[in-house]
Chains A and B, each alone.
Chain A
Amino acid sequence: MIDITRLSALELGRKIKAKEITVAEAVQAQLEIIKQRDPDYNCYITVLEEDALAQAEQVQTRIDAGELNDSPLAGVPLAVKDNICTKGVKTTCASQILYNFEPTYDATVIEKLKEAGLIIIGKTNCDEFAMGSTTETSFFGVTKNPWNTDCVPGGSSGGSAAAVAAEEAFLALGSDTGGSIRQPAGYCGVVGIKPTYGTVSRYGLIAYASSLDQIGTFGRSVSDCAAALELISGHDIKDSTSAPQESYRYTDALVDDVMGMRIGIPKDYLGAGIEEEVKESILKAAQVLKSKGAIVEEFELHSVEFAVPSYYVIACAEASSNLSRFDGVKYGYRTSEFEGLQDVYKKSRSEGFGNEVKRRMMIGAFVLSSGYYDAFYNKALKVRALINQGFQKAFEKFDIILGPIAPETAPRLGESLSDPLKMYLSDIYTVSVNLAGLPGISLPCGVDKKGLPIGLQLIGRHFGEKDIIRAAYSFEQAGSYERPTTLTKAQGKEA
């Protein structure tokens, strides 16, 4: 029998349509792998066993009735980050304060996926309220990097990235506020795409920083990732920041051709702080695209050094407001003993939130407080405008921008939490993309000496998803880099 979970999502979709595999078989195979491997990696907060099998039955009926002929991913199991609302299914944001929260509605992306016949197999671990770069701040324990369980999977969507890497899911949804899809994709050696702000509805995504958050997809190939993105994209009247586009057919861009494509590499991204191995790998990737006919040039992208501070000011400010509703009154965690309303608030929030979340809410409340607003928040907004201008200028000259995802490969567990400032600074290549609202894709481009994946980032102009998908696909087709081929623990067990 074929090893179902090794298939790509699109292959599985085809085999289900061809009646070679039933949806129930696919779901069962997926659940089996999760059962085997998740104790080692802890990708999931919630695994939907019975529910997934019930979904499988319904989807199979729809497939057999010919209702899903136009849906290439019908029947494919998919994991969802636990900050995206699923009706009647716990959605915790990896926080104690929402440890028991069951939304009364489905996020727009969930509705779309269900409509397309995908199977929600479980809810994945992440940093608490998506605040972190390592998935270590989760109330439900850390997720480990499948390529080396002493290392973090990255974050905040570490559970989703690790699940896809460990074959515990064919596809996964994540959210990216400052790199939370692209960075874990890079650390876990999978493909992750964060679309342009406004491409995917945020309705049902529990907000971290509303002006930066965007839902995106993970897959083991550019094709899978693009096919999944195609399903969840689209204008939504429930999200006033969603912007209608003419075409969301990203799979049209799966073309192996970068002839004449103008690619810029920001010199500022390859300067101080970056590991030599990462730098080499990125430059090699650029060479691959150049050899395929792309025009590659280095250039200076200004304001790079201001991206991280302005990102943290804006993100924390919005977070301090967004997370105020979790107060122990209406749902979620409430302290057991209290005297009066103020006490409910103080104790529930003190006990329910973890340290990183508290730190960011305090930073946010501070930068918005009267007397400091102009010095911090307003200044950060001005920097944001400058960063956007810098990108606009670059895109006059280039079709896409190429660079690293992070200065280093996945750090060891525990390393980052002891030095949060270092962790914040490691977001340098990703946050400016969110500040400018641009699309970015992360894909593996090599392995370092420790055997950890190195991620390549391609950034497109607003709604230029197709450009970066085409370049990513072309690079992937070249296949000219070393991949990590086996999983650490799983390898031992399966051998």
Chain B
Amino acid sequence: MKAYETVIGLEVHVELATKSKIFCGCTTQFGGDPNTHCCPVCTGMPGTLPVLNKKVVEFAMAAGLAMNCKITQHCKFDRKNYFYPDLPKAYQISQLYLPICRDGGIEIETEAGKKTIRIHEIHMEEDAGKLIHDPWEDCTLVDYNRCGVPLIEIVSEPDMRSAEEVIAYLDKLRLILQYLGVSDCKMQEGSLRADINLSVRELGAREFGTRTEMKNMNSFKAIARAIEGERKRQIELLEEGKKVIQETRRWDDNKDTSFAMRSKEDAQDYRYFPEPDLPPIEISDEWLEEIRKRQPELRDEKMLRYEKEFDIPAYDAAIITGSKHLADLFEETVALCQKPKEVSNWLMVETMRLLKEQEMEPEEITFTPGQLAALIKMVDGNKINRTVAKEVFEKIFKENVDPEEYVEKNGLGMVSDDGLLRSTIEKIIADSPQSVADYKSGKTKAMGFIVGQTMKEMKGKADPGKVNQLVKEMLDSL
């Protein structure tokens, strides 16, 4: 078999996190009863007209700037015409001729090292509705709630060569978009969708092979499997002396295989032309500068800053910044308690353990910076010891309890009452003549037994430092 190279380019659709739709005032909230998040405009009723949501332009600009694109300061919308019941106007308002962002790129890192994936363009468009087949009535119903939700489509150059690179690229996109706050990028809810253009060619060949486009992958894992499957399928065809047909294929993750949807010959002519209902968008230098200034700190900068400013190990900084939610939690907790190392430890050890145990993503964490900061302060102030703290943290994580209230209610606070401690130690000393004798004969290790017994008696609620100090003091004074 010859050696082959896989060439992959991606078209990623991202739903923007604006409150209202791109061309009307309807909410973009996910879910809702069918056809309750719509109006005459987004259902394309005759006579209605689109009014552009300015926030969409700002989000697209922010994404473009973060991906090092050139911003098209005079850009326009175009109509993409096709018939389908989920598209009530029979055209999608999109951008073909003058997309808002062009010629960018982002750096990805895989085990092989760093690499830049070029971005061909980013354009703005509206989402379509959803068809629901009713098997009981044997009819198809349409839900227009998603219709008009703003999207950006990020089109890469064919710069990726493996599933690993694709995943790294998508992960990078996700992080950039989440840090910008322009999308929540939830694949399960369809707010990030990737179409994969893939071809193979003999290693060293100059020309690209014939590509296929694959749709309908709803997880990173599915994407990796789909790439592997399609790569193999194409190589097998070539090895058998057959040709790859340019077509769109649909990935079926349950069957772990893809099916041809339509070939290039069936490809529709979308008859694009400039949208006459919307004037061109003029982006002034001032507006662009304002967006540039408003750009938040992105992941790479943040990671470096954590290492420098908080003296957090690179590995930990990478894990924490690997989720915007985790990074926000980290920074807000540090701001409350001024203990970056402590905060990082709680996130890296206990939080990670519980996430794994509960099979959760960091985005699903519900405890607040205030709760974690309060816990850290209690440990720091010797109000509770570490063992108790772990127990309390689990309660915070799982049940969002208020740590102070919880410790108080369950009597988990450390005993700072010297009298009680002294009388307990006196009792232990009286019950352990052998250890006392050993200590007195110079076997200082024997003290450990007394301390251990005391802690046990105190049910862990005593401050170990304090116990040590008192035991020594009392043994020495015997």
Establish whether residues A321 and B91, one from each chain, have CB atoms under 8 Å apart when the complex forms. yes
CA distance A365 to B82 in the complex (A): 11
Establish whether residues A317 and B90, one from each chain, have CB atoms under 8 Å apart when the complex forms. no
A325 within 8 A of B: yes
CA distance A103 to B91 in the complex (A): 20
Q: Which residues of B contact A210 (CB under 8 A)?
A: 276-277
CA distance A327 to B88 in the complex (A): 9
B residues 75-105 near A (Cβ < 8 Å) are: 79, 81, 83, 85, 88-91
Establish whether residues A238 and B49, one from each chain, have CB atoms under 8 Å apart when the complex forms. yes
Q: Which residues of B contact A94 (CB under 8 A)?
A: none
CA distance A344 to B44 in the complex (A): 19
30 contacts between A and B (CB under 8 A): A84-B47, A85-B46, A91-B47, A98-B46, A103-B40, A103-B45, A105-B40, A105-B48, A202-B49, A204-B48, A207-B277, A211-B276, A237-B51, A238-B49, A239-B49, A240-B278, A241-B276, A241-B277, A241-B279, A320-B81, A320-B271, A321-B79, A324-B89, A324-B91, A325-B44, A325-B46, A325-B88, A326-B46, A368-B271, A368-B272
CA distance A85 to B40 in the complex (A): 12
Q: Which residues of A contact B142 (CB under 8 A)?
A: 329
Establish whether residues A105 and B85, one from each chain, have CB atoms under 8 Å apart when the complex forms. no
Establish whether residues B276 and A240, one from each chain, have CB atoms under 8 Å apart when the complex forms. no
A residues 322-367 near B (Cβ < 8 Å) are: 324-327, 329-330, 341, 345, 365
A369 within 8 A of B: yes
Establish whether residues B85 and A203, one from each chain, have CB atoms under 8 Å apart when the complex forms. no
CA distance A317 to B79 in the complex (A): 11
A101 touching B278 in the complex, CB below 8 Å, given contacts A321-B79, A321-B271: no
Given contacts A107-B47, A368-B271, A373-B273, 13 further A-B contacts (CB under 8 A): A103-B47, A105-B45, A203-B49, A240-B51, A240-B277, A241-B276, A318-B276, A321-B90, A321-B273, A324-B90, A327-B83, A329-B85, A368-B81
Q: Which residues of B contact A326 (CB under 8 A)?
A: 46
Establish whether residues B48 and A203, one from each chain, have CB atoms under 8 Å apart when the complex forms. yes
Establish whether residues A204 and B50, one from each chain, have CB atoms under 8 Å apart when the complex forms. no
**Binary flags per residue of B31-50, CB closer than 8 Å to A gives 1, else 0:** 00000000010011111111
Establish whether residues A365 and B271, one from each chain, have CB atoms under 8 Å apart when the complex forms. yes
Establish whether residues A101 and B46, one from each chain, have CB atoms under 8 Å apart when the complex forms. yes
Q: Which 10 A-B pairs have the closest CB atoms?
A: A324-B90, A211-B276, A368-B271, A210-B276, A206-B46, A204-B47, A85-B47, A206-B47, A325-B90, A370-B269
A429 within 8 A of B: no
A104 within 8 A of B: yes
A151: min CB distance to chain B, Å: 31
Establish whether residues B271 and A369, one from each chain, have CB atoms under 8 Å apart when the complex forms. yes
Identify the interface centre among B48, B51, B271: most chain A CB within 10 Å of its CB: B271
B374 within 8 A of A: no
A residues 173-205 near B (Cβ < 8 Å) are: 202-205
A residues 42-88 near B (Cβ < 8 Å) are: 84-85
Q: Which residues of B contact A320 (CB under 8 A)?
A: 81, 271
Establish whether residues B273 and A345, one from each chain, have CB atoms under 8 Å apart when the complex forms. no
A377 within 8 A of B: yes
Q: Which residues of B contact A91 (CB under 8 A)?
A: 46-47
Establish whether residues A317 and B273, one from each chain, have CB atoms under 8 Å apart when the complex forms. yes
B residues 262-318 near A (Cβ < 8 Å) are: 269, 271-273, 276-279
Q: Which residues of B contact A240 (CB under 8 A)?
A: 49-52, 277-279
B residues 394-435 near A (Cβ < 8 Å) are: none
Establish whether residues B85 and A207, one from each chain, have CB atoms under 8 Å apart when the complex forms. no
Residue total for B at the interface (Cβ-Cβ under 8 A) = 28
B82: min CB distance to chain A, Å: 9
CA distance A98 to B47 in the complex (A): 13
CA distance A84 to B48 in the complex (A): 11
CA distance A321 to B270 in the complex (A): 10
CA distance A318 to B277 in the complex (A): 10
A128: min CB distance to chain B, Å: 14
| Count of inter-chain pairs, beta carbons less than 8 A | 93
Q: Which residues of A contact B45 (CB under 8 A)?
A: 103-105
A residues 92-129 near B (Cβ < 8 Å) are: 93, 98, 101, 103-105, 107
Identify the interface centre among A107, A204, A241, A325: most chain B CB within 10 Å of its CB: A325
CA distance A321 to B272 in the complex (A): 10
**Binary flags per residue of B42-78, CB closer than 8 Å to A gives 1, else 0:** 0111111111100000000000000000000000000
Identify the interface centre among B40, B89, B90, B91: most chain A CB within 10 Å of its CB: B90
Q: Which residues of B contact A321 (CB under 8 A)?
A: 79, 81, 90-91, 271, 273
B73: min CB distance to chain A, Å: 19
Closest chain A residue to B80 by CB distance?
A321
Identify the interface centre among B85, B142, B273: most chain A CB within 10 Å of its CB: B273
CA distance A204 to B40 in the complex (A): 10
Q: Which residues of A contact B50 (CB under 8 A)?
A: 240
CA distance A2 to B26 in the complex (A): 52
Contact for B83 among A85, A105, A345, CB less than 8 A: A345
A163: min CB distance to chain B, Å: 21
Q: Which residues of B contact A104 (CB under 8 A)?
A: 40, 45
A6: min CB distance to chain B, Å: 34
Q: Which residues of B contact A204 (CB under 8 A)?
A: 47-48
A210: min CB distance to chain B, Å: 4
Q: Which residues of B contact A327 (CB under 8 A)?
A: 83, 90
CA distance A104 to B43 in the complex (A): 12
Contact for A324 among B43, B81, B269, CB less than 8 A: B81
A377 touching B273 in the complex, CB below 8 Å, given contacts A104-B45, A202-B49, A206-B46: yes
Q: Which residues of A contact B90 (CB under 8 A)?
A: 321, 324-325, 327
Closest chain A residue to B50 by CB distance?
A240
Identify the interface centre among B43, B44, B83, B142: most chain A CB within 10 Å of its CB: B83
A346: min CB distance to chain B, Å: 10
Q: Which residues of B contact A373 (CB under 8 A)?
A: 271-273
CA distance A265 to B269 in the complex (A): 44
Contact for A341 among B48, B85, B273, B277, CB less than 8 A: B85
A335: min CB distance to chain B, Å: 15
Contact for B88 among A93, A205, A330, CB less than 8 A: A330
Closest chain A residue to B43 by CB distance?
A330
Q: Which residues of A contact B51 (CB under 8 A)?
A: 237-238, 240
Closest chain B residue to A207 by CB distance?
B47
CA distance A226 to B50 in the complex (A): 29
Q: Which residues of B contact A317 (CB under 8 A)?
A: 273
CA distance A203 to B50 in the complex (A): 9
Closest chain B residue to A212 by CB distance?
B276
Q: Which residues of B contact A105 (CB under 8 A)?
A: 40, 45, 48
CA distance A107 to B85 in the complex (A): 25
